[in-house]
């Protein structure tokens, strides 16, 4: 019975702490930042938002001051087959959720 009580107590402790969530997205954008602001205000969420870039050449969003839960990831960009890739060796953490956001590249078909 002691093991059951201990496991139940551990489960209650685990469920009562904030849920750690990390979003990785390309650049700060107003619509995403609205979502992040709502999530950060929740007591049951410990939010981290990492942007791959402060701004990008093809983004209409201007650079803005970051909130405490937001940061620009260190690293660098490389081009792969017409797309940008961000390289970062330090982004390894223990989390319960990992969300990566990217814009899909439009497929094109070439006749030969």
| 75 in any annotated domain | yes
- Higher-confidence position of 72 and 105: 72
Question: Domain limits at 28?
Answer: 17-100
DSSP 27: S
What is the tens place of the pLDDT at every residue in 6-29?
655 665 565 678 889 989 888 898
Q: Is the pLDDT assigned to residue 67 strictly greater than 70?
A: yes
Report the pLDDT value the prediction gives residue 5, as an integer from 0 to 100. 56
Question: Where are any strands of DSSP class E within 9-109?
Answer: 19-25, 45-51, 70-72, 76-80, 83-87, 97-100
Q: How many domains does the chain have?
A: 1
The overall average pLDDT reported for the chain is: 76
| 107 in any annotated domain | no
Tokens of 66: 């970051």
- Higher-confidence position of 109 and 78: 78
What is the tens place of the pLDDT at every residue in 24-44?
888 898 989 999 999 999 999
| 77 in any annotated domain | yes
């Amino acid at each position: 019975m002691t093991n059951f009580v201990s496991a139940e107590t551990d489960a209650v402790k685990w469920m009562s702490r904030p849920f750690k969530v990390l979003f990785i997205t390309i650049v700060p954008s107003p619509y995403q930042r609205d979502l992040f602001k709502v999530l950060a205000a929740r007591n049951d969420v410990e939010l981290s938002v990492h942007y791959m870039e402060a701004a990008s050449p093809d983004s209409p969003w201007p650079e803005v001051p970051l909130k405490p839960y937001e940061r620009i990831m260190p690293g660098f960009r490389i081009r792969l087959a017409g797309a940008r890739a961000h390289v970062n060796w330090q982004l390894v953490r223990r989390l319960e959720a990992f969300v990566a956001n990217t814009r899909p590249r439009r497929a094109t078909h070439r006749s030969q």
